[in-house]
Chain A
Amino acid sequence: MRSRPLALLLAAILLGLATTPFILHGAQAINAAAHICIFILLVASYDLLLGYTGVVSFAHTMFFGIGGYGAGLALAFSPSWPSLALGIAAALLLSGLLSMVIGLLSLRVRALFFAMITLAVAAVFAELASRLSWLTGGEDGKSFEVPELLRASFRLLPDRLFGTVINGKVVTYYLIFAATCLLFLLLLRLVNSPFGRVLQAIRENEFRAEAIGYRTAYYRTAASAVAAMVATLGGVLLSLWLRYIGPDSTLSFDIMIDVLLMTVIGGTGSLYGSIIGATLIVIAQTYLRDALSGLQDLTPLANPDRWRLWLGLIFIFCVYLFPEGIVGKLRAMANRKILPP
């Protein structure tokens, strides 16, 4: 059932993201907005796995990283559009193949293997990325130039528009915003298609779905490949935004934990949950973290470096007490109004 508060919340977030460069001046706000867009993609594609297909993957950041490194290394080689396109194509190919290999190997046996194998493969991939320093720049990562249009020194318009200089950074932001909208709509189309129905059927009752005649391993593998490729594109957008690629910005396990938290808090099994989850957590990380540091003299538990302790606790409580997430809760409230118990 549609929920009015949910629709209003989503509209407010969309409007906010569409106008951030003109309303909130300052680097922190636009940086947060760009991260929200990128994480919406990452979380929505992750929800395709966790919420719609019912498998837990810990390699989502690996595909994020493949996209980041694909675009980054291509741009480091030559900061031009064709080179970027080639990098993206190579990254998408690698992600698609890798996710299919992992899926066919583990989902054939039991979905439980998938969680363990993705964790192992992602860890080895992260180690390789920091070991092969001649290619990836190792632990330090690599900085690179982006195409002319996206550089901070570039001016799209000679004058200010509503008090904002339309430089390459703003152009990049709107590129990210547009790509996020497009990919999100594609994912939405996918989960509401017959294919998406089969995924949900598998999640609800795998045995039954197989008995009806659907090859569950095939569907799960296809879903994990789609999710991997969307995450790859998210990584491309992140490296365009940061103009830097390194293990900590994309591959670190901390980002995986963030994605898990956003997915669960927003609400699994609904792509709209990704919008709310990503927005909430990125804003909390950008602004609340500083607030927390004011308390650190009281107890070492409030040290901003212990941020993950609190995220982890919130995560556990959400999975126990609030498994339907914010979107699920709002929808349940809307249902209750129409059908009183």
Chain B
Amino acid sequence: MRKTYAILPALMLLALPLVGNPASWATLTVAGLAMGMMTFIMASGLTLIFGLMGVLTFAHGAFVTFGAFVAASLLTPDLAMLPLALLAAMAAAAVLGALFERVIVKPVYGQHTKQILITMGAMVVAEQLIIVVWGADQRMVELPPLLKGSFLVGDATFERFRLLVVAIGLALYAALHLALNRTRLGLLVRAGVEHPEMVEALGYRIKLVFIAIFALGSALAALGGGLWALYRGQLTASLGAERMIDIFIVVIVGGLGSLGGCFIAALLAALLFNYTSYFAPSLASLSEVILLIVVLLWRPRGLMG
């Protein structure tokens, strides 16, 4: 499995001679990594929820949009407000996520078709409610002045915010990986994936773990949404629905339920997207579908599924 990680540096090295200019290659690569990290943050919640509960929630994008709007409305030019706004968005989404699990998803556990239909309906309703609350117009999102702008290393420009996003994504991946594999709670979660009845029989309340994971997944979606809105500088109510496409591709390519696979797939898809848009902008979105097809032909269950 560790060998799969080697795809990433291989792709970056392969792109270097194709792009030609090392400076633009570096800029493209960092931008791709930043985009990939954001997609990973959003998709990790979905893959965790699926891994534990076997629930594929199409309403995940609603939490992305919700998080973006909460963060954007709390943001001030003060740098200290940025983490606070993102944390507030995560907290609000976690509460809503727990509610969502209890009210919407709980009655349809184990029924895949109904899950897909209901969560898709919930996504439509949530998007409309967001429009009712925050309006249908595009909203500008300003980064705090300290994070704006870029600096030069040689000829390559690096935007500050992109580097920050890469750092956050790496830290989050490490934290999730450690929490799943090195803590007692993670042990419980992994045991719940394998054998929920057994865990329950041992006296643990698996229901609480379910709710907690749903809340965590929704909070991660909100964090990703907030970062994405800051990255793009604007947001609309359809942000989450648009991101869902990338999120799904990444989750399938990585292998449903696998955190590591999701991480690799997110970076892979974003890098590929960025390199393709450098050569043929109109074909960039096709690159992800091609990645999806190639991976499914090669490993039908995804990279790490």
Give Cα A105 to B245, complex, Å. 17
Chain A residues with CB below 8 A from B227, complex form: none
Give Cα A306 to B129, complex, Å. 9
Our pick among B113, B241, B301 for the contact of A50 (Cβ within 8 Å) is: B113
Given A128-B286, A319-B118, answer yes or no on A116-B124 (Cβ-Cβ < 8 Å): no
**Contact B248 A116, beta carbon cutoff 8 Å:** yes
State how many angstroms separate the Cβ of A231 from the closest Cβ of chain B: 18
Given A124-B285, A320-B107, answer yes or no on A106-B296 (Cβ-Cβ < 8 Å): yes
Q: Is A253 an interface residue (CB 8 A)?
A: yes
Give Cα A257 to B123, complex, Å. 11
Chain B residues with CB below 8 A from A316, complex form: 104, 118, 121-122, 125
Q: Is A22 an interface residue (CB 8 A)?
A: no
Q: Is A171 an interface residue (CB 8 A)?
A: no
Chain B residues with CB below 8 A from A132, complex form: 282
Q: Which residues 117-132 of B sit at the A interface, judged by CB distance below 8 A?
A: 117-118, 120-122, 124-125, 127-129, 131-132
Q: Is B249 an interface residue (CB 8 A)?
A: yes
Q: Is B114 an interface residue (CB 8 A)?
A: yes
Q: How large is the interface on A (under 10, 10 to 19, 20 to 34, 35 or more residues)?
A: 35 or more
**Contact B297 A105, beta carbon cutoff 8 Å:** yes
The DSSP consensus for interface residues of chain A is helix
State how many angstroms separate the Cβ of B235 from the closest Cβ of chain A: 18
Chain A residues with CB below 8 A from B127, complex form: 308
Least CB separation from A316: chain B residue = B121
Given A316-B122, A319-B121, answer yes or no on A127-B132 (Cβ-Cβ < 8 Å): no
Of the stretches A30-38, A107-115, A185-193, the one at the interface is A107-115
Given A116-B251, A131-B282, A308-B128, answer yes or no on A121-B289 (Cβ-Cβ < 8 Å): yes
Give Cα A54 to B112, complex, Å. 10
Q: Is A137 an interface residue (CB 8 A)?
A: no
Our pick among A120, A131, A253 for the contact of B289 (Cβ within 8 Å) is: A120
State how many angstroms separate the Cβ of A181 from the closest Cβ of chain B: 29
Give Cα A306 to B269, complex, Å. 35
Least CB separation from B122: chain A residue = A316
Our pick among B117, B124, B128 for the contact of A264 (Cβ within 8 Å) is: B117
Chain A residues with CB below 8 A from B296, complex form: 105-106, 109
Give Cα A84 to B282, complex, Å. 28
Interface residues of B (CB under 8 A from A): 56, 58, 104, 107, 112-114, 116-118, 120-122, 124-125, 127-129, 131-132, 136, 241, 244-245, 248-249, 251-252, 256, 282, 285-286, 288-289, 292-293, 296-297, 300-301
Interface residues of A (CB under 8 A from B): 50, 54, 56, 58, 101, 105-106, 108-109, 111-113, 115-117, 119-121, 123-124, 127-128, 131-132, 253, 257, 260, 264, 300-301, 305-306, 308-309, 311-313, 315-316, 319-320, 323
